[in-house]
Structure 1
Amino acid sequence: MAKDDLRKALKELHPLQVIDLPPSWTAVFAVAGFALGHGGVGGFGLGLGGLLILAGLGLMGLAAKKIREHDTTIIPHFHADELVTTGIYSRTRNPIYLGDVLILSGIFVAGGAGLSLVLVPAFIWVLTVRFVLPEERRLAERFGDRWTEYAARTRRWI
């Protein structure tokens, strides 16, 4: 999906759909995590947190590049034109959402909010219910046996 197509697609989203995107949920969980409290930022926490954030961004970048190569959508609420199964998508069906999880974890670790890591499983649940399961239903409807075979050989997360 070209940049102009992406801009056009985002304009077509209902305002609530714009809010209901993974980066918004990441921000909500980050704020909630810091509301639980955090300690001082140590060198180890900052370094490990930074690595987790970079790993998450890297996964997202690889996934976005592969989606762009296949000229399909990156927007969760839209129907895919292609079933992307190569590159990072041969390792995980959800590299962008996995990137969100790594980024949130990295934010908590870097910010010294280790206790907030208990929110990560809830964040994964929200991503799964709000985005992954509906996407999988759409992909199964659109791609049938190709989707079934892909889902059987490629794990949802890691």
Structure 2
Amino acid sequence: MKGFPDLPPLWLLLFMGLAWLLARFLPLVSGVDPLMQRLGVLLACVGVLFVFWAALWFWKKKTTIEPHHTPGTLIVEGPYRLSRNPIYLGMVLILSGQVLWLGALSPAFLIPLILAVLTVRFAVPEERALLEAFGEEGQAYLKATRRWL
């Protein structure tokens, strides 16, 4: 896909659109449960907060947030103590919240799929970039902190 901006938020939007389409036209099992919808909204809100909390650290450290760019600083504080990919984790929480809110089974299959896309297209290449940019310090961080949780 030459010319396609390969950015995680665009992938999230794509998956959210697919979730809506699946819930609307191929729900498999559906049922709106107000408790599940509230849980979905809560999960999505936690995901949004996680994304912003993690993004704030890029601003604090004055380094690029764009994937596929060489990192200027190794961030190991804040949410990066819990996960090497808190922004992507937040995106998975947002999609998971939407799936609960939609109340259909079919979109649930998208959750492991977005995890795979974010891992292969972004997390693994970023880990290689961290190793190249920060050597032993990067290796220590990768060893000490889980990819997801």
TM-score, with structure 1 as normaliser:
0.84
Gaps of 5+ in 1: 1-13
Deviation at 1:93, TM superposition (A): 0.4
**How many percent of aligned residue pairs carry the same amino acid?**
42
Q: Which residue number corresponds to residue 16 of structure 2?
A: 30
Distance in 2 between the 1:21 and 1:135 partners?
13
Find 2:86's aligned residue among 91, 95, 109. 95
> How many residues matched?
143
- Structure 2 residue matching 1:104: 3-state secondary structure: helix
Deviation at 1:30, TM superposition (A): 1.9
CA contact (8 A) 1:56 1:99 kept: yes
CA contact (8 A) 1:34 1:113 kept: no
Find 1:120's aligned residue among 78, 88, 111. 111
Q: Deviations over 1:124-147 (max 9, x none)?
A: 000001111111111110100001
Find 1:150's aligned residue among 134, 137, 141. 141
TM-score, with structure 2 as normaliser:
0.89
Q: Deviations over 1:75-111 (max 9, x none)?
A: 1121111000011101100000000100011111111
Superposed CA RMSD: 1.5
Deviation at 1:74, TM superposition (A): 0.9
- Structure 1 residue matching 2:121: 3-state secondary structure: helix
Deviation at 1:15, TM superposition (A): 4.0
- Structure 1 residue matching 2:127: 3-state secondary structure: helix
Distance in 2 between the 1:128 and 1:64 partners?
18
CA contact (8 A) 1:140 1:147 kept: yes
Distance in 1 between the 2:47 and 2:127 partners?
22
Q: Which amino acid aligns with 2:21?
A: A
Find 2:56's aligned residue among 65, 71, 78. 65
Q: Which amino acid aligns with 1:155?
A: R
Distance in 1 between the 2:9 and 2:53 partners?
17
Q: Which amino acid aligns with 2:70?
A: H
Distance in 2 between the 1:75 and 1:41 partners?
37
Distance in 2 between the 1:31 and 1:64 partners?
24
Gaps of 5+ in 2: none
Runs ≥4 residues deviating over 4 A? none
- Structure 1 residue matching 2:128: 3-state secondary structure: helix
Matches within 5 A, 1:70-81: 70-81=61-72
